[in-house]
Structure 1
Amino acid sequence: MLRRILFVDDEPNVLSGLRRMLHGMRREWDMRFAASGAEALTLLASEPFDVVVSDMRMPVMDGAALLHEVMDRHPGVARIVLSGHSDLDLVVRSVLPAHQYISKPCTQEKLCEIIARALSVQELLSGSDIREMVSRIESLPSLPESCRLLNEELASPEPSLARVGAIISRDIAMSAKVLKLVNSSFFGFAAHIASPEQAVTMLGLRIMRALVLSVHIFTEFDSAALRDVSISRLWEHSMRVSMVCRKIASAMGLDQVGQDQCFIAGLLHDVGKLVLAATLPERYAGVIACVRRENRLVREVEFETLGTTHAEVGAYLMGLWGLPDPVIEAVAFHHAPMHAEGGMRPVGAVHIANWLDRECHVINSEYARESLDMEFVERLGCTDRLEQWAGFVEAAEEGTGDER
Structure 2
Amino acid sequence: MNAPCIVFVDNEPGVLNALRRLLRLSHRDWDMHFFSSPVQALDQLDSLTPWVVVADRNMSEMDGIELLGHVADTAPEAIRVLLSGDAQMESAIRATAAAHLVIRKPFEREVIDDLLTRARVLHQLPLSVTLRGRLGQQESLPVLPEVYQQITHVLEQQEPDVAEVAELIRHDQVLLSRVLQLVNSPFFGFNSRTHDVEVAVMRLGLQTIHNLVLIIELYQHNSTVPRALGDRLMRDALLLAEHVGTLADSRGVSRNIRNLAVVSALLHNIGVLLLGADSQEYNIASAYLLELWGFESEVIEAIQHQLDPDLPYDCEPATEILNAAVKLQYGTLNDAIEANGD
Quickly name the TM-score band, shorter chain normalised.
Answer: 0.5 to 0.7
1:101-156 CA deviation, whole Å, 9 max, x = no partner? 33344333441232222232122235322101012222369xxxxxxxxxxxxxxx
Aligned match of 1:139: 141
Q: 2: distance between equivalents of 1:57 and 1:321?
A: 24
Q: With the length of structure 1 as denominator, give the TM-score of the two structures.
A: 0.58
Counterpart for residue 161 of structure 1: 172
Q: Deviation per CA, 1:250-275, whole angstroms, max 9, x where unpaired? A: 663433x5544333311221333453
CA gap of 1:166–1:199, structure 2 versus 1, over 3 A, is farther
In structure 2, C-alpha distance between the alignment counterparts of 1:19 and 1:243, rounded to whole Å: 49
**CA displacement at 1:220 relative to structure 2:** 3.2
Letter in 2 for 1:139: L
8 A Cα contact 1:242 1:267, kept in partner: yes
Q: Which residue is 1:266 aligned to?
A: 265
CA distance in 2, matches of 1:116, 1:50: 11
**Structure 1 residues 267 and 198, CA, compared in 2 at 3 Å: closer, same or farther?**
closer
Q: 2:254 matched to which residue of 1?
A: 254
Q: Which has the higher contact order (CA 8 A, sep 6+)?
A: 1
Per the TM alignment, residue 94 of structure 1 is displaced from its structure 2 partner at its CA by 3.8
Decide whether the 8 Å contact of 2:244 with 2:261 is kept in 1.
yes
Aligned twin of 2:25: 24
What is the CA–CA distance in structure 2 between the aligned matches of 1:99 and 1:14, rounded to whole Å? 21
Instruction: Report whether the alignment pairs 1:49 with 2:50.
Output: yes
Q: TM-score, normalised by structure 2?
A: 0.67
CA-CA distance at 1:358 after TM superposition: 2.5
Alignment match of 2:303 (pick from 331, 337, 353)? 331
For residues 22 and 168 of structure 1, the distance between their equivalents in structure 2, rounded to whole angstroms, comes to 44
Please say if residues 168 and 196 of structure 1, whose CA atoms lie closer than 8 Å, have aligned partners that are also in contact.
Answer: no
CA–CA separation in structure 1 for the residues paired with 2:297 and 2:235? 25
What is the CA-CA distance between 1:26 and the residue it aligns to?
5.4
Q: Structure 1: where are the runs of 5+ without partners?
A: 142-158, 171-191, 201-207, 224-229, 285-301, 303-308, 371-404
Q: Aligned residue for 2:63?
A: 62
1:87 maps onto 2:59 in alignment: no
- Residue equivalent to 2:324: 352
Specify the code of the residue in structure 2 equivalent to 1:161: D
How far apart, in 2, do the equivalents of 1:194 and 1:98 lie?
Answer: 28
Among all aligned residue pairs of Structure 1 and Structure 2, give the percentage whose two residues are the same amino acid.
26
- Native 8 Å contact 1:261 1:327 kept in 2: yes
One-letter amino acid of the structure 2 residue matched with residue 315 of structure 1: A
Note closer, same or farther for the CA distance 1:73–1:162 as it changes in structure 2 (3 Å cut): same
CA–CA separation in structure 2 for the residues paired with 1:82 and 1:193 = 32
User: Following the alignment from structure 2 to structure 1, what is the Cα–Cα distance between the partners of residues 90 and 114?
Assistant: 25
Contact 2:4 2:51 in 1 (8 A): yes
Q: Which ranges in structure 2 are unaligned for 5 or more consecutive residues?
A: 144-169, 182-206, 337-342
Aligned partners of 1:320 and 1:168: how far apart in 2? 26
| Residue type of the alignment partner of 2:303 | V
Shift in CA distance, 102/246, structure 1 to aligned 2, threshold 3 Å: farther
RMSD: 3.8
Matched with 2:148 is: none
Kept in 2, the 8 Å contact 1:3–1:50? The answer is yes
Query: Shift of residue 6 of structure 1?
Result: 0.3
The equivalent of 2:130 in structure 1 is 129
CA separation of 1:102/1:87 partners in 2, compared to 1, >3 Å: closer, same or farther? closer
Q: What is the deviation of 1:12? A: 0.9
Aligned position for 2:292: 320
Does structure 2 conserve the Cα–Cα contact (< 8 Å) formed by 1:41 and 1:70? Answer: yes
Distance 1:197 1:222 in 2: 17
Q: Does the 8 Å contact 1:56/1:90 carry over to 2?
A: no
Partners of 2:179 and 2:58 in 1: how far apart? 31
